[in-house]
Structure 1
Amino acid sequence: MAAELANFEGYVNRVIPFKTVDGLELSLDVLYPSTKPSSPRPVVIHYHGGFLVIGDRYAFFPSWLAQACVSRGWIFVTPDYRLIPEVTAHASVEDAVDAYQWVLKSLSSHIGIELGPVVLAGSSAGGFLALTTSVTVTPKPAALVSIYGMLDMANERYLTKGSNIFGLPVFDTTKIKQSLTELKQPVLSAYPYPADPSSDPRMAIIATLHIDALFPDYMTGISGLTEKVINEGVEAIPASHRSLYPLTFGDVGDLPPTVVVHGRNDSAVPAALSEVAVEKLRTAGVSVHSEFPDVGEHGFDRVAGRKLEQETTGELAAPSFQSLRNTLKTLEQMVAKAAARPS
């Protein structure tokens, strides 16, 4: 249990393992009412960010979303998942799917509360996992929420060499790439956000994957895939790996109502990724509510903390934070509609 999930009034926080793979135990945190409610409770599952390379259940923690769940009597869940490059993104997605399925099948018996509609949400890389999981699973979640998500991994951002994240300088990545050829163990399901990102080796990996456009290689485990896609187009991605590119190859027409939030000045994950997603989902017939505040740097929502809905003046009066309030209002409506549908 971490401080981020402690001291929510009227709520209990528990850490529960949901799977073991190759001897590695993966867990999730559950925040749920301490007094058993008389009716089913909606659930929000949030996948953390970290470019699939770093992060844990407490990194980039959306306190505002957890507080919103508490204020509404909902249940909040946040799971870990295996990180690249020790494994491919297929393992990350598998863990995200397994966490969702575990919640549907087992969470109620662990906490003694009947579950209502289940929502999938994610920030940054977690947005990618929430989208990909939603495309993969049956039954579908009641709603999907992406917060500055890495939604379009076939976007030119991940196929163009020569730029770092957050406008940081480009550097010689030779040594980092050499270390990647030797990086197989241990497999990590969590890596706390470093106190000093500038000297952290995994932050250097993230920078390298951007600078040399190596995400396709390390997400799939196919060396040289980026070059093939650059030269031949997305059709160069083998069929067995196309599930990692749901906006390009997946059937998105049966996705649930979706909310997309992304600041237009995001210097880590371009808002264009979310704009492409919104267009493709709407074209496929999916109901999408989008929020694109002009100012909303990557991770901007963390500043809101638990005060988002209680304080609406000063810094929290900014349009970026109003976009989060709009998100919650829309999500509440989506959940209410899902709860009213016959089971």
Structure 2
Amino acid sequence: MSSFPLQIDGYKSKTLDFKSTKDGAIKLDVFYPENVEGTKRTVVLHYHGGFLVVGNRYSFFPYWMVRGCVSRGWILVSPDYRLIPESTAQALLEDSIDAYNWVLSSLPSELGCTVDSVLMAGSSAGGYLALATAASVPKKPSALLLLYGMLDPTFDRYLTPGTTLFGGPPTDTSPILARFPISSADDDREKISSYPVQNLATDARFPLVGALHSDALVPDYMTGIPGLARSIRAEGVEAIPQVHRNLFPLSFGDLKDLPRALLVHGTIDPLVPVDLSTRAADVLGKAGVEVDVQLPTDADHGFDAKAGDVDIEGPDGEKVVAYGSLRHALKFLDSCAGSSA
């Protein structure tokens, strides 16, 4: 049984367990054409956003991307992954890698089709996971589409205390940090992999996102190392222990074999500064990656999800903020489809 947000004639959906943990199964959704059996298909694998702390495979949903898949006969896969702070980012990255490997190894037998190419996409925190996953796996995807991604945990925003998430005055973060402490080796909390947010203003967990920003604790909570952001600020990225350097692909990853990448980021994004994408594009380009960047001047964070259910290539698509960049993104994916690495 699937709760996939779209029902479209000619397409089906399945909710499946792609891995098991001691705290339960982790799920993904597959949205696929009815006549997929015996065919060769492109797969779009999309990682959701939520600052690594909240969200699930239905959160901040990219309807435009799903409808783009439908018009092309592609398959879309949307996985959950474990969340901070009950887990560290090592578990999140492991889940993201396992979802990609599931697409390669298990999706063909599940649907009776051949996977022609995998186009990897991610939004916000999902953009970070897409980049880190692609940098970690030996068989690369055919494309990377990174939407307003939290691409570099060593960015000043995550190392410098005092900047609040929405630009308001600083608040006392101690109650929320006490309620959601950093993960530790003997942490016995249930590791959650799905946390849908109905209302950011009233949600009990979302304030942790603000606390991690205002107190500059993002690298600490990602790794489970108290004080890591402070050490990076003082000593540079060499302060990051070897065992956790896979979580910092722009600083330590072997990037030269990554596929073509498109980065889309609105210049008025108040939550993830556009400099994260422009700097990432510079690093990727210097590593030899073919990089394209779209910087719409009227787009804020999550602009594409805020548009709701829209066919970005149809007449109504022109009403969407930065629709030209989203159409460009689909054309980019078109150019990469069917060219498996």
TM range (shorter): over 0.9
State the SS of the aligned residue for 1:165: coil
Instruction: Work out whether residues 289 and 330 of structure 1, in 8 Å CA contact, stay in contact via their aligned partners in 2.
Output: no
Q: 1:203 aligns with which of 203, 206, 225?
A: 206
Shift of 1:23: 3.6
Pairing of 1:230-269 with structure 2 (within 5 A): 230-269=233-272
CA offsets, 1:104-126, max 9 Å, x none?
00101111121110111000000
From 302, 309, 323, the counterpart of 1:305: 309
State the 1:53 CA deviation: 0.2
In the other structure, the counterpart of 1:218 is 221
Residue 170 (structure 1) aligns with = 170
Matched, 1:278 2:277: no
Matched position secondary structure for 2:55:
coil
Q: Secondary structure at the residue paired with 2:206?
A: helix
Q: 1:162 to 1:182 in 2, by over 3 A?
A: closer
- Per-residue Cα deviation, 1:132-177 (whole angstroms, up to 9, x for no partner): 0000002100111100011111111100111122334421111112
Distance 1:151 1:313, change over 3 A: closer
SS in 2 for 1:31: strand
1:287 aligns with 2:296: no
SS in 2 for 1:307: coil
Tell me what 2:190 maps to.
186
Report the aligned-residue RMSD: 1.6
Counterpart position of 2:3: 2
**Maintained 8 Å contact 1:8/1:67:** no
Structure 1 residues 297 and 117: CA distance shift in structure 2, 3 A = same
- State the partner residue of 1:330: 332
Distance 1:313 1:35, change over 3 A: closer
Alignment-mate amino acid for residue 334 of structure 2:
E
Question: Which residue of structure 2 lines up, in the alignment, with residue 146 of structure 1?
Answer: 146
Distance 1:328 1:166 in 2: 31
Name the TM-score, length of structure 1 as normaliser: 0.94
| Structure 1 residues 11 and 219, CA gap change in structure 2 (3 angstroms) | same
Greater Cα offset, 304-313 or 255-264: 304-313
- One-letter amino acid matched to 1:61: F
SS in structure 1 of the partner of residue 121 of structure 2: strand
Equivalences, count: 335
| Cα distance per residue 1:232-263 (max 9 Å; x no partner) | 11111111111110001111111001111000
What residue is the counterpart of 2:75 in the other structure?
75
> What letter matches 1:217 in structure 2?
D
How many Å separate the matches in 2 of 1:278 and 1:49? 20
Shift of 1:88: 0.3
Q: Distance in 1 between matches of 2:317 and 2:109?
A: 42
Q: Secondary structure at the match of 1:201?
A: coil
1:194, distance to aligned residue in structure 2 (A): 2.8
- 5+ residue gaps in structure 2? none
1:35: how far off? 1.3
8 Å Cα contact 2:310/2:316 also seen in 1 = no
SS at match of 2:17: strand
Kept in 1: contact 2:37–2:112 (CA 8 A): no
Q: Shift in Å at residue 313 of structure 1?
A: 6.4
Q: Which amino acid aligns with 1:219?
A: M
1:22-171 correspondence runs (5 A): 22-36=22-36, 39-171=39-171
